A and B are shown apart, each in its own frame.
Chain A
Amino acid sequence: MKKTTIALLAALSLSSSLSLADYPTKDIQGIIQWGAGGSTDTVMRSIAPHVEKELGGDIILTNKTGGVGAIATKYVNAKKADGYTLLMGAENPQMYKILGLSDIDYSDMIAINVLARGTPIIVANNDAPFNTMQELIEYTKAHPGEVKFGSTGPGGLTSIVTAMIDSQVKLDYTSIPYNGDGPALTALQGGAIDVMPAVLGATIEQIKAGRMKAISIVDIEANKLLPNLAPITDALPGMKSYLPWGPFFGVFVKKGTPDEAVEKLQAAFQKAAYNKDFVDLMQKRGFTIMNISGDEADYFLEAYRSTSSWLVHDAGFSKFSPEDFGIRKP
């Protein structure tokens, strides 16, 4: 008993003298905003081992779900700003302020790396009586209230893409909400909904297998994975002002984290995101690698926030005006 105590004390004094020298001296906790098996979870779990190799320390990944990621965000910001707690999240916090979900978004944190960006796509059930964006618009106009749009709740990708479309053309459709694009895309295949905007990566395999059809890619140009699919700007040129736009994955730490830790983390994540395995994985799923940090990341995050916030505000489902938080108009 005594021996172990002494050993522990010795170890303790050793570690405290080390902690000043070089970060990291202990395990880093990575808080994933979304549940096991989701796309954020998958991306983070596939990059973490590469980062561990660069840092020479372990990252313990923990899923902390709830409140569209607000609970994880709050948790990380309640911890010490020592670089030992990372927030591994998706785009959602950028809408927290105007939706009244939280008073912290990514502008109140330090971006370690914005890893990748997804491209939205509009998909439809195989039996749907339209094949292109133009036909979808015409059919919906001709049959008001009949087309069932899948959605994933306010502030999610589907709601922002439909808000973009609504800003261009007034359509009367029935919106059926699901919790998450997984269940919604399943419902689409089963015919419970007709159309829905989703992220390319979640649909690509189904499209290739012919289980659902792609209507349009929500971008200014065609995508490498689906070269024959027309971009939405062909049918709705006015959408150009919002695009390219897409959900993203990023890693963040609390403001006030020592520069030394931030720099080490940024360097480690940057190197890890260049890893061939990771790049392959992301591209196969239709994600565009960003791998940006510092000012570049801040600029990207701000652009995302301002486009999305104003869209959601103009569509009428925000709780507060983006002006209240000094979010400029795009």
Chain B
Amino acid sequence: MDAFNYFAMSWLSPELLGLTALGTFLGIYVGAIPGLSVTMAVSILISFTFSWDVNYALCLMVGVYMGGVYGGSRTAILLNIPGAPSAIATALDGYPLAKKGLAGEAIGLSTIMSVVGGFVGIIVLAIAAPTVSEFAITFQPRDYMMLGILGIMLVGSLSGSSLARGIFAGALGLLIGTVGLDPMTAEERFTFGVVELWDGINPVAVMIGMFGISEALHQLHHMNKAVIKQKISRIIPKWSDIKKYMPLSLQTSFIGVIVGALPGTGGDIAALMAYDHAKRITKNPKVPFGEGAKEGLIAPESANNAAVGGAYIPMLTLGIPGDAVTAVFIGALFIHGLNPGPLLLVEQPHMFWFTVGNLTLANIFVLIFGLTGIRLFSKIVECPKGILIPLIFLLSIVGAYAINNAITDIWWMLAFGVFGYFMRLYNFPVGPVILGVILSSLTDENWRRAILSERGNIGDLFISLFHSPLSTVLFSVIVLILFTQSPLWTKWLKRKFFR
């Protein structure tokens, strides 16, 4: 009965309810603006809510987190600028939908599926948190390495028409991800003696440049074309659509929870893996992927919101953050005089069900706020290009600066914007670049840890893949995908035999 009381705490107190609503509302806009991250917003809230009661502070922060992860899809769909790395996969099919005048429907669908994902995450958190967290920390470096490889194999599905160009772009991304002081040995890699490069090139700067700036530059070609009138008659998706896509949404939500619960990976990787999953299991999409397939919108949106619940799992049970935002949450609990750690739930028994209840509430507010204001938002796409494009540039520049208060991030963002423009012009896909950047350190570091653990012996590393059931499963999945379903392989087969 206690559990229920704690669960309902934030529902019954008008102040807590109001703060959660406010947080969610703010979060949606924080998430939508590129460069403003949820991590940053929650950090600022720590100082702001310093003197408050801890429950009040948490309600506001949980709302911002839940809303923020969802909000990233807004700008991804409307402007092709993902508000956060977890919305990169959303842009791939969401933006083409907006270009067809279906922005309203796309946002509506992404809202519903985000909320579904959010609930799956919360349910797993509520009923299986201890099991999942014990499972998550048994991931060894070799398992993370294989996750990275699984992710890199997605290059196949993001390549578009030419695989060689896709591989080039993916490899470039991986290389960009290694720039800076190597976190393991402090060796300089591609820094050319420039101190500003020590911390590497920020993935968000690459993302804003490759997606936002290069798209805006491309739009300059079509200055005289009339703007696309948005059909805003249908916002809430058809019930038949929801039913049809529900299985996919649930599957990708589970991917999201697990990837979110792993301490080394977050919503961005979850969303990309979900996108790949959708592409593999959807045999005959109505619209091809990359041109506005609804499946390609639903999968990442379900997964990244499910990852929120996932990220809370190791945080609440073990005091280990599941992603960057939960790391800040741990700091916030600490500042408020609690002891985040494995004993948190013993010392503060209300914390678990309070958080679950609060997350549920925030998720409901995502639904409410997500479905309102869509008409207004869709108008952004109808804004005359002569005004919209300069504004996109301004927002991209300020956003890039905001990541780390560094002018150099602006430079990188612009450089990748111009380079991305030429890549698009000559039919190079830009998706794999940002995929590579995101997966680079995960793969590089864990590959090296894995081989160091076997004292540099690659044979031993291979044998170790069969030491644990988990590694064996991951390894089999990689082999299976490589030889049966992977677009890499099927493309090659098609070319060899069906041409």
Contacts and interface: CB of A to CB of B under 8 A. Distances in A.
A and B together in one complex: yes
Interface of A: 35-38, 41-42, 45-46, 48-49, 61-68, 70-71, 74, 99, 101-102, 145, 148, 153-155, 174-179, 182-183, 186-187, 189-192, 204-206, 208-209, 211, 277, 280-281, 284-285
A214 to B, nearest CB: 14
A206 B339 contact: no
29 contacts: A36-B43, A37-B321, A37-B328, A37-B329, A37-B330, A38-B327, A45-B335, A63-B43, A63-B404, A66-B198, A68-B186, A71-B199, A71-B406, A154-B186, A174-B453, A174-B455, A177-B449, A179-B183, A182-B327, A186-B320, A189-B137, A189-B318, A190-B137, A190-B138, A191-B140, A192-B141, A206-B341, A206-B342, A209-B343
Contacts of B334: 42, 46, 281, 285
Contact of A99 (B40, B138, B186, B324): B186
Nearest to A278: B335
Interface string B77-93: 00000000000000000
A41 B195 contact: no
Interface in B308-329: 318-321, 324, 327-329
A154 B331 CA distance: 26
Contact of A67 (B141, B185, B199): B199
A277 B337 contact: yes
B328 A74 contact: no
B291 interface: no
Contacts of A102: 195
Contact of A70 (B198, B263, B264, B405): B198
Given A177-B185, A186-B137, A36 B449 contact: no
A49 B50 contact: yes
Contact of B331 (A45, A192, A211, A284): A45
A319 B335 CA distance: 38
A190 B319 contact: no
A211 B455 contact: no
A49 B47 contact: yes
Q: Can you list the 3 inter-chain pairs with the closest CB atoms, starting with the nearest?
A: A205-B341, A66-B199, A37-B327
B184 interface: yes
Contacts of A187: 141
A37 B324 contact: yes
B228 interface: no
Given A192-B140, A211-B318, 8 more contacts: A37-B329, A71-B196, A71-B406, A148-B453, A174-B453, A186-B320, A206-B342, A284-B337
Contacts of A284: 337, 339
A63 to B, nearest CB: 7
Nearest to A179: B183
B43 A45 contact: yes
A45 B341 CA distance: 20
Contacts of A175: 452
Interface in B271-285: none
B259 to A, nearest CB: 16
B39 interface: yes
A254 to B, nearest CB: 17
B51 interface: yes
A67 B183 contact: no
A297 to B, nearest CB: 24
B181 interface: yes
Interface in B434-477: 445, 449, 452-453, 455
Interface string B43-60: 100110011000000000
Contacts of A99: 186
Given A182-B321, A192-B453, A206-B319, A281 B343 contact: no
Contacts of B404: 63-66
B352 to A, nearest CB: 15
Among A64, A178, A190, A281, residue most surrounded by chain B Cβ atoms (within 10 Å): A190
Contacts of B377: none
Contact of A64 (B42, B181, B329, B406): B406
B441 to A, nearest CB: 8
Contacts of B108: none
Contacts of B319: 205-206
B263 A186 contact: yes
B164 to A, nearest CB: 33
Interface in B188-214: 195-196, 198-200
Given A63-B404, A154-B185, A36 B331 contact: yes
B81 to A, nearest CB: 23
B300 interface: no
Nearest to A65: B199
A68 B341 contact: no
A206 B198 CA distance: 33
Interface string B470-489: 00000000000000000000
A243 to B, nearest CB: 25
